[in-house]
Amino acid sequence: MATFLYKLGRLAFRRRHFVALIWVALLTLAGVGAASAPPAGNSSFSIPGTEAQKAFDLLEQRFPGQSADGATARVVFKAPSGEKMTDAGNKATVEKTVDELEDGSEVASVTNPYTGDAVSKDGTIAYTSVKYDVSGMELEESTKDALEDAAQQARDAGLTVEIGGDALQAVPETGATEVIGIAVAAVVLVITFGSLVAAGLPLLTALIGVGIGVSSITALASALELGSTTSILAMMIGLAVGIDYALFIVSRYRAELAEGREREEAAGRAVGTAGSAVVFAGLTVVIALVGLAVVNIPMLTKMGVAAAGTVAIAVLIALTMIPALLGYAGRRVKPAGAKGKRLGRLRKGEPKTDEPDGRPKANLGTRWASFVVRRPLAVLLLGVIGLGAAAVPATSLELGLPDDGSQPTSTTQRRAYDLLSEGFGPGFNGPLVVVVDAKSSDAPKDAFTDVEKRIKDLDGVVAVTPPSPNKGGDTATITVIPDSKPSSVQTEDLVHAIRDAGGDIEAKTGAETLVTGSTAMNIDVSQKLNDALVPYLVLVVGLAFLLLIVVFRSILVPLKAALGFLLSVMAALGAVVAVFQWGWLAGLMGVEETGPVMSMMPIFMVGVVFGLAMDYEVFLVTRMREAYVHGEKPNQAVVTGFKHGARVVTAAAVIMIAVFAGFIGSSESMVKMIGFGLAIAVFFDAFVVRMAIVPAVLALLGMKAWWLPKWLDRALPNVDVEGEGLRTAGERGAGPDERELVRT
């Protein structure tokens, strides 16, 4: 591995024009594809194998032409104080609005509040439901404008009017904080390298990689039904890993220059050593993201694969574009520690001797590692107890999917949600659709009536509409209004109660009862994600564990890495619960409404954080492994690893935290929550687990940390991440810059 990447690095350095041309061409091609691609349509949200999806599919089959997946809008009217919606003037305004809405070209149906029992009991609130032929993302702008214009005319007449539903669904915006995150990354890079040129290389390559990845996603969005969130998450992860991977290679390049190597040779060695770590770190991230497919939710699978593709591009760019750009930069990228006049002294091999006894002054990473190996047990206990305390809120984790009730109060969707809750009760925003399939029943009408009666007798039910059969008379829908809000535990219990009652009804009448609707869909998604979490953990952690055994040639080091990850991800979940569910620091994070944690959050965080955690594990511990392989004692190898890697890993973690935190400003609650969760998870993992717990555990294990059974040592391939092959070749007389090694 190291030898191959060494050759690749030198080749890219020498053929820099050709390499740069290839990447610029790919970026241009992806950009043209994105610009010429048709606009993304509806990103279908299906959950195969669940009752809600089965009922949804049955509706499309038995009720053709009703556009089951079409956009909807609820235009909610509230009368001025002291008036009612049944007053003549207000009624005329509403009916005029209904007439205007019916004239829309993409409108399938519009209900009249006064003929459809859509006026509240106190008469102050009414609503009309608008059904469209196409999905919310496919609606023409003119249709959306017509909807808003009709509402505005009713407002001008004196009514309070708000619009709920997905008809006005907007593409999520990330806000200015995303730019701030990139700016913070730039500042950290400048401080780390002490050079604008060296700092600019990781930013430039990361932006090129993200540009190719996001443009490709945009180009394929319509064909593959990719939602807007997919590109945002790919950008988030691609930026973070792209900067980090380039950072490690540039840092190693400067270290090789400081040892007196020629620039082409230094580029080859940087890619051969740090590049090997990049490959395996990237591979763990890709495994974690692609592994999301085991959940069998197409939207989540697409998000994972798209983000994994962006990570793969980041790896390839780091291995090829970085050495090419280093060739262009020439002497403007200085050796590590070299500034101005000190560059000449370092090239002559004169060490910096700031200590009184003449020894080189120890950096902060060396001093910290020396402290940890002297007090390993105390550091280990402090780190574990601290993360354990942060994880405590995770025991109160409640899962759900965001709806209009989780929108900011400044949005019309949220205000419409609140008005409907005020006028008709909290459950009105999350009606349950019960589908009765009586095709196998001898008396379909009796079965429909039986289901209606059984549901009315259940606790937690406010209203039940009469059965509405299809033209064939073999299937009917019944709408059930709970007395609790959609995301509540009570509503979930009601869904399970209806399904339990359906089993008795099927045994009695032969009719199958299914529950669907957005609320039931959310409940089934949460359950499916919970059921998939353990198999996903086993798959991803198991594959990565085997990969790390190959990388580190150890059993205990990968085991320690996996256990440390579990600590950091549980602590991060605890922080997410504290902010988004309990409301701690909610104002600071821009969280206007607390509630259940998004049901995708735990499994998505497990996937992404595991991959990113292994990044730091590979980058930091490979330097320790390298020192150990080269003859140092275990504790000294830990200190050496920190001496060379702590500063860079710290910079990488700060950059990744800044990039993720930049997405907290998103208008999309899911993106906001994921941005915060990943940022805090990286903080816990990098600064507590990898910087404190890892060296403490290695110090306690000593030689045992690197133990591997002889039979397994013989069976495993030698990937040579630490570049021992390059060192051996040099000792055999390949020459100071080892040019012949590249030619062989």
Q: What is the pLDDT of residue 737?
A: 44
pTM exceeds 0.85: no
Tens-place pLDDT, residues 643-697: 877 888 888 888 888 888 887 877 677 778 888 998 999 899 989 998 999 999 9
Residue partners of 136: CB distance under 8 A and separation at least 6: 42, 71, 165, 166, 167, 168, 169
Of 261, 287, 288, 285, nearest in space to 273 by CA:
261
Whether the per-residue pLDDT at 555 is higher than 60: the answer is yes
Mean pLDDT score across all residues of the chain: 83
Q: What is the pLDDT of residue 466?
A: 87
Average pLDDT value for residue range 486-503: 88
pLDDT tier at 40, thresholds 50, 70, 90 = low
Tens-place pLDDT, residues 607-649: 778 777 777 787 788 778 878 877 888 889 899 888 877 888 8
Q: What is the pLDDT of residue 726?
A: 66
**What count of residues does the chain have?**
744
Q: What is the pLDDT of residue 667?
A: 66
Whether the per-residue pLDDT at 155 is higher than 90: the answer is yes
Tokens 């320690």 correspond to 560
Q: What is the pLDDT of residue 735?
A: 41
Tens-place pLDDT, residues 163-191: 988 787 665 555 555 677 778 888 888 88
Q: What is the pLDDT of residue 495?
A: 92
Tens-place pLDDT, residues 6-21: 899 999 999 999 999 9
Average pLDDT value for residue range 297-321: 89
- Helix or strand run (H / E) with residue 368: helix 364-374
Whether the per-residue pLDDT at 68 is higher than 80: the answer is no
Whether the per-residue pLDDT at 26 is higher than 90: the answer is yes
Distance of alpha carbon 2 from alpha carbon 344, whole angstroms: 30
Whether the per-residue pLDDT at 595 is higher than 90: the answer is no
Distance of alpha carbon 523 from alpha carbon 277, whole angstroms: 41
Q: What is the pLDDT of residue 351?
A: 45
Q: How many CA atoms lie within 13 A of 229 on its CB side?
A: 21
Angle (nearest 5°) at CA 730 between 729 and 731: 90
Q: What is the pLDDT of residue 742?
A: 37
Distance of alpha carbon 545 from alpha carbon 700, whole angstroms: 21
Whether the per-residue pLDDT at 386 is higher than 90: the answer is yes
Whether the per-residue pLDDT at 249 is higher than 50: the answer is yes
Q: Kindly report the number of other CB atoms within 10 A of residue 319's CB atom.
A: 23
φ, ψ for residue 406 (rounded to 5)?
-95, 0
Q: What is the pLDDT of residue 723?
A: 61
Whether the per-residue pLDDT at 349 is higher than 70: the answer is no
Of 389, 396, 392, nearest in space to 581 by CA:
396
Tell me the chain's radius of gyration from C-alpha atoms: 30
Residue partners of 62: CB distance under 8 A and separation at least 6: 437, 470, 472, 474, 475
Tens-place pLDDT, residues 398-421: 877 777 777 777 788 889 999 999
Q: Rounded to whole angstroms, what are the CA distances from 686 to 63, 554, 619, 627, 659?
A: 54, 21, 11, 21, 15
φ, ψ for residue 255 (rounded to 5)?
-65, -40
Average pLDDT value for residue range 49-72: 79
Q: How would you write 684-707 as a 3-class SS string?
A: HHHHHHHHHHHHHHHHHHHHHHHC
Q: What is the pLDDT of residue 314?
A: 92
